[in-house]
């Protein structure tokens, strides 16, 4: 049976905290900012939108998606988001990228839930051409992050396919006094097999790389975070080569990314499970601009985390140890998502 070693995970977390805390000067104060990403797995409202294929997520659809289930889904997700990052910052994630959301309404409903309403999350969202209507979006706490610009970019496939996929979102703003650009993506799935579908993810990566390069053209030292459900692991070509994301800080040169998810993936950790194996599709890539200051005098990368609370996992049954999702095997389970969320910690010395 596929099980999760919670003790091993806890021990790994403690080691990370102990090893990194020694880097910080004890007589200094630091601003801490948590930035996360969460694939919320089919967050649909209950209403039929005739412009997209959302019929299954209606009260009359095959999923019998009614107000009670929708409210429970929102409550579950808000529990996760409200807790993410609070071990290092009381306000949790100041920026959170999300994917698999139907529209802006579901995000509006999410941030208005009891557990999140006091965070006063603002929303950046554009409708994508995806036929099911699932989009990416960004939630942010305006008292920490001031948005100055946002846009979405369409992904076209080099094989000539006109089957639409999710747009990629780019949001630029001021975080702790510094300009930061956050890109949110949901690359094409592995439907049809990993190898057969790989060209589609490479095309998506090329779009992401184009956006990143355009930001670098304006500022060669730009601070950029590229996050999303990439449907590829850190070692796959799309991430490693096209996005130019390295697993070691020492290998990151100008216009490259550091991928803090590389090492956890190599250790066997992941964010979703399939056929009793873990993949780490949910990633946050960190530009070199966050890696330059060893004394943290400017906004700098500190550590990464996969949010792994026991309530997020299935206990018992066929999928014991898998992420506890909303639906599986044609049945409503009342869980959270088939993906685990991830977040990074950025710090800056207070002067």
Domain boundaries, the chain: 6-20+28-350
Q: What is the pLDDT of residue 17?
A: 33
Place of tokens 């800056």: 348
Q: What is the pLDDT of residue 317?
A: 87
pTM recorded for the entire structure: 0.93
Q: What is the pLDDT of residue 210?
A: 98
* Contact status, residue 252 vs residue 240, Cβ threshold 8 Å: no
Q: If DSSP states are collapsed to H, E and C, what string results for the chain?
A: CCCCCHHHHHHHHHHHHHHHHCCCCCCCEEEEEEEEEEEEEEECCCCCCCCCCCHHHCCCCCCCCCHHHHHHHHHHHHHHHHHCCCCCCCCCEEEEEEEEECCHHHHHHHHCCCCCHHHCEEEEECCCCCCCCCEEEEEEECCCEEEEEEEEECCCCCCCCCCCCCCEEEEEEEECCEEEEEEEEECCCCCCCHHHHHHHHHHHHHHHHHHHHHHHHHCCCCEEEEEEECCCCCCCHHHHHHCCEECCHHHCCCCCEECCCHHHHHCCCCCEEECCEEECCEEEEEEHHHCCCCCCCCCEEEEEEECCCHHHECCCCCCCCCECCCEECCEECCCCCCCCCEEEEEEEEEC
* Contact status, residue 340 vs residue 306, Cβ threshold 8 Å: yes
DSSP codes joined into one string, 213-252: HHHHHH-TT-EEEEEEE-SS-TTSHIIIIIS-EESSGGG-
Question: Tens-of-pLDDT digits for all 351 residues of the chain?
Answer: 333 333 233 323 322 333 334 456 667 899 999 999 999 999 999 999 999 999 999 999 999 999 999 999 999 999 999 999 999 999 999 999 999 999 999 999 999 999 999 999 999 999 999 999 999 999 999 999 999 999 999 999 998 888 899 999 999 999 999 999 999 999 999 999 999 999 999 999 999 999 999 999 999 999 999 999 999 999 999 999 999 999 999 999 999 999 999 999 999 999 999 988 999 999 999 999 999 777 899 999 999 999 999 999 999 988 899 999 999 988 999 999 999 999 999 999 998
Q: What is the CATH number of domain 6-20+28-350?
A: 3.60.10.10
Q: What is the pLDDT of residue 25?
A: 66
DSSP codes joined into one string, 155-174: ---TT--------EEEEEEE
DSSP code of 36?
E
| Phi, psi angles (nearest 5°) of residue 42 | 55, 60
Task: Give dist(CA 317, CA 232) in Å, integer.
Answer: 28
Start-to-end Cα distance in the chain: 52
| Phi, psi angles (nearest 5°) of residue 288 | -60, -25
């Amino acid at each position: 049976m596929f099980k999760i070693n919670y003790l091993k995970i806890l021990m790994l977390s403690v080691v990370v905290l102990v090893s990194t805390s020694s880097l910080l000067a004890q007589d200094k104060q630091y601003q801490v900012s948590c930035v996360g990403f969460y694939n919320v797995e089919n967050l649909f409202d209950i209403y039929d939108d005739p412009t997209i294929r959302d019929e299954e997520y209606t009260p009359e659809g095959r999923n019998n998606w009614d107000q009670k289930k929708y409210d429970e889904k929102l409550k579950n997700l808000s529990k996760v988001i409200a807790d993410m990052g609070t071990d290092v910052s009381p306000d949790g994630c100041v920026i959170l990228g999300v994917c698999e959301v139907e529209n802006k309404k579901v995000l509006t409903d999410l941030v208005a839930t009891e557990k999140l309403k006091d965070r006063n999350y603002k929303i950046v969202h554009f409708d994508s051409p995806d036929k099911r209507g699932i989009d990416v979006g960004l939630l942010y706490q305006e008292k920490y992050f001031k948005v100055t610009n946002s846009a979405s970019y369409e992904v076209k496939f080099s094989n000539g396919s006109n089957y639409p996929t999710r747009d990629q979102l780019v949001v630029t703003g001021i975080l702790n006094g510094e300009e930061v650009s956050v890109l949110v993506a949901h690359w094409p799935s592995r439907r049809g097999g990993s190898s057969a579908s790989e060209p589609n993810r490479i095309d998506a990566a090329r779009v992401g790389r184009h956006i990143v390069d355009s930001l670098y053209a304006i500022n060669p030292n730009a601070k950029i975070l590229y996050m999303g459900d990439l449907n590829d692991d850190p070692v796959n070509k799309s991430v490693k080569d096209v996005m130019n994301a390295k697993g070691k800080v020492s290998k990151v040169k100008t216009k490259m990314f550091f991928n803090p998810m590389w090492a956890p993936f190599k250790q066997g950790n992941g964010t979703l499970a399939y056929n009793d194996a873990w993949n780490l599709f949910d990633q946050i890539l960190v530009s070199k601009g966050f890696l330059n200051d060893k004394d943290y005098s400017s906004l700098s990368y500190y550590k990464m985390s996969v949010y792994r609370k026991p309530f997020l996992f299935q206990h018992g049954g066929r999928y014991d140890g898998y992420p506890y999702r909303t639906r599986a095997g044609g049945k409503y389970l009342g869980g959270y998502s088939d993906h685990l969320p991830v977040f990074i910690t950025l710090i800056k010395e207070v002067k």
